[in-house]
């Protein structure tokens, strides 16, 4: 495998924490500690549009698939819904005084993970709170949706992953998943496995059809794993770490294929916080504490 850094997007004034797909395949959004939400163009690295600005850090961005509004979670404030075409806020919801770590959608529901351990269920059509899911007093950090089993997995800072029914929100499984906070969680593209990772630097794979039995435990990085994501063709996945590296893995065998770092690939000089694997020429994006977003081509 050959990995080539083909572009760098710079313009944020502080750490970049969030990446999200754009309205077109050549676009994506970024946000972070400076409160800026920027639209970038993968075919025009010299161009960036400011689409929103809030007065606090943004950890979570999510493009709503129906309304095409960009939902952003403002630290200590709540939700803002942005019409990115006209660059204006069309709605907001004063939700919490806690940090918002993740936003995921399923049908007409939005699930919002908060630093006080609550996951808020919101009706996306009415923009009204339907329910508060309280399963821990430690932060809810990440959410993954499994539409096949109609389950939702949530990773918490109490080191536990909890599996809930998507309709009733009843707790179905409790996984003593890690020895420290769970930062990232995702189902495999076929929804047969759940992948979890976090502060303990371990990547763990759970068999969904066997009541989430642990299938694999990999010491994947030197320091905390901040995010993981699958490639559009489902053959690979990537992990991003506080150890400043990105690692590329075979999605079927979990074999490490490539380490992308500063020494070998002019990678990031500080923590890599978020990844986004785009459909635009299968380019992989990485966002970092160094205020930049790098674009990687794998071949």
**What is the pLDDT at residue 82?**
97
**Smallest Cα–Cα separation from 85: which of 33, 24, 31?**
24
User: Residue 24's pLDDT is what?
Assistant: 96
Model confidence at 3, pLDDT cuts 50, 70, 90, reads: very high
Name beta bridge partners: 118.
Answer: 134
Tokens at 7, concatenated: 């572009």
pLDDT tens figures, 35-51:
999 999 999 988 899 99
User: Is pLDDT above 80 for 267?
Assistant: yes
259 pLDDT more than 90: yes
Across residues 77-95, what is the average pLDDT?
94
Each residue of 172-215: pLDDT tens digit? 999 998 999 999 999 999 999 999 999 999 999 999 999 999 99
Q: What is the mean pLDDT of the chain?
A: 96
| Res 77 pLDDT > 90 | no
pLDDT in tens, 92-120: 999 888 899 999 999 999 999 999 999 99
pLDDT bucket at 81, cuts 50 / 70 / 90 = very high
Strand partners, 27: 41
pLDDT at 9 over 90: yes
List own/partner pairs for 134-139 with CB under 8 A and 24 or more apart: 135/162, 135/164, 135/171, 136/160, 136/162, 138/181, 139/99, 139/101, 139/113, 139/114, 139/115, 139/181
Main-chain phi, psi angles of 118, to 5 degrees: -85, 140
For residue 76, is pLDDT > 80? Answer: no
Checking if the pLDDT of 217 tops 80, the result is: yes
Instruction: Encode pLDDT of 12-27 as tens digits.
Output: 999 999 999 999 999 9
Phi, psi of 192 (to 5 degrees): -85, -20
Give the pLDDT score at 177: 84
Q: Which residue has the tokens 């993968």?
A: 42
Predicted local confidence at residue 95, as pLDDT: 86
For residue 212, give both structure tokens.
């989430």
Give the model's pLDDT for residue 96: 84
- % of the chain with per-residue pLDDT over 90: 94
pTM for the complete prediction?
Answer: 0.97
Contact 239, 228 (CB under 8 A): yes
C-alpha–C-alpha distance, residues 98 and 114, integer Å: 6
């Amino acid at each position: 495998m050959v990995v080539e850094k083909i572009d760098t997007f710079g313009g944020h004034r502080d750490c970049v924490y969030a990446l999200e797909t754009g309205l077109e395949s050549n676009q994506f959004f970024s946000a972070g500690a400076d409160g800026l939400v920027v639209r970038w163009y993968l075919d025009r690295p010299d161009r960036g549009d400011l689409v929103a600005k809030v007065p606090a850090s943004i950890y979570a961005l999510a493009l709503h698939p129906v309304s095409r509004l960009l939902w952003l979670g403002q630290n200590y404030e709540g939700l803002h819904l942005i019409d990115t075409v006209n660059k204006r806020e069309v709605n907001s919801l004063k939700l919490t005084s806690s940090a918002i770590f993740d936003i995921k959608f399923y049908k007409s529901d939005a699930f919002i993970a908060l630093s006080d351990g609550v996951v808020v269920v919101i009706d996306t059509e009415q923009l009204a709170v339907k329910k508060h899911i309280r399963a821990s007093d430690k932060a809810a950090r990440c959410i993954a949706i499994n539409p096949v089993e109609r389950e939702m997995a949530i990773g918490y800072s109490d080191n536990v992953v909890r599996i809930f029914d998507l309709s009733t929100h009843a707790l179905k499984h409790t996984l003593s998943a890690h020895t420290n906070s769970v930062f990232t969680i995702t189902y495999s593209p076929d929804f047969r496995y759940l992948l979890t990772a976090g502060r303990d630097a371990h990547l763990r794979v759970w068999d969904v059809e066997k009541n989430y039995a642990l299938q694999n435990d990999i010491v994947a990085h030197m320091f905390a794993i901040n995010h993981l994501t699958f490639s559009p063709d489902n053959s690979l996945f990537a992990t991003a770490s506080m150890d400043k590296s990105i690692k590329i893995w075979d999605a079927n065998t979990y074999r490490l294929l490539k380490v992308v770092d500063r020494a070998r690939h002019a990678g990031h000089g500080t923590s890599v916080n978020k990844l986004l694997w785009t459909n635009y020429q299968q380019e992989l994006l990485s966002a970092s504490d160094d205020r930049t977003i790098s674009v990687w081509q794998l071949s």
